[in-house]
Amino acid sequence: MTTSLPPDFADWLRLREPADAVARSVELADAARDRLPAGRPLVVHDLGSGTGSMARWLAPRLPGPQHWVLHERDAHLLALATGGGLTAADGAAVTVTTRGSDITRLTRADLADAHLVTASALLDMLTAEEIDRMADACAGRPTLFALTVSGRAEFTPADPLDAELADAFNAHQRRTVDGRALLGPDAVDATVAAFERRGVEVTVRSTPWRLGPEQAALTAEWLTGWVDAAVEERPHLIGPARTYTEWRLAEAAAGRVEVALHHADLLAG
């Protein structure tokens, strides 16, 4: 996977981390915990770890000593992920190592010691072939994928342009980059199918962000990027989108906008 990250991507990850933490499925995390071996240190591999937010959320929900292996291709994000101590649900130590990995090329051998595989906000940036390889590498152990974009954004109050921008954004998410045909909101179904082809059952839960006045800064940052992507995909929207964005941002700053941005969590195995 060769697509480069913007220089301020770490700032975006920090901004979204509290909303991610609220949205992730506790039910699926508990189910994953119940499938883990007891009486020995756990090894967890986190794919596309970013700055380590999944470890910060999940490690305190799991019992006993844990060792997390964070896979990320961006060295700057990995450096940020190494900071800060973690403890398990029962106070046991949690250690972390990092690997500069192209997660689209991981094999079963790379994950051979894993008791659990995790990822967050990742699948919609992959292709069907990459998800199939990932399912092959992960099969045989519980795998928890959090916060895959599922293609719906619901605004209160609603506006006639909402649906058109959402459709354009989803088309942008399905674009081809460096020869890679991204799945975007089709990634949930593709991932379920890839595991089921291997005889692995998958449980899916809806995990939307629910953004209100307390998340105005996140709403503004997300909305700007959402509209920019839609306009990049369909330039004829630039005029109405400019007016729309100015209005939405002003309303968000005043605490008069709520957004439900839909995601899905998946537990395979």
Mean pLDDT per 10-residue segment, the chain (269 residues): 65 96 98 94 97 96 96 92 83 94 95 98 97 97 97 97 98 96 98 98 98 97 98 98 98 96 98
Nearest to residue 139, comparing CAs of 121, 120, 114? 114
Nearest to residue 123, comparing CAs of 112, 114, 131? 131
Written as six digits, the tokens of 43 are 């090894």
Q: Which residues of 159-192 are buried (b: 16+ CB within 10 A; e: fewer)?
A: eebbebbbebbbebbbeeeeebebbbbbbbebbb
Q: Are 156 and 257 in contact (CB under 8 A)?
A: yes
**Please, what sign has the CA dihedral across residues 131, 22, 226, 224?**
negative
Backbone angles phi, psi at 114, to 5 degrees: -75, 135
Q: Identify the pLDDT of residue 83.
A: 56
Written as six digits, the tokens of 137 are 């590498």
pTM of this structure: 0.94
Q: Identify the pLDDT of residue 4.
A: 52
Q: Identify the pLDDT of residue 8.
A: 84
Q: How far does the chain reach from its first CA to its final CA, in angstroms?
A: 26
Q: Identify the pLDDT of residue 84.
A: 66
Q: Identify the pLDDT of residue 85.
A: 84
Give the β-pairing of 86-87 and 66-72.
unpaired
Residue type, 215: Q
Q: Identify the pLDDT of residue 7.
A: 61
Nearest to residue 68, comparing CAs of 77, 76, 53? 53
Q: Can you tell me whether residue 29 is helix, strand or coil?
A: helix
Q: Identify the pLDDT of residue 2.
A: 44
Give alpha helix (H) positions in the chain. 9-23, 26-34, 53-58, 75-81, 128-138, 161-173, 187-196, 216-233, 238-253
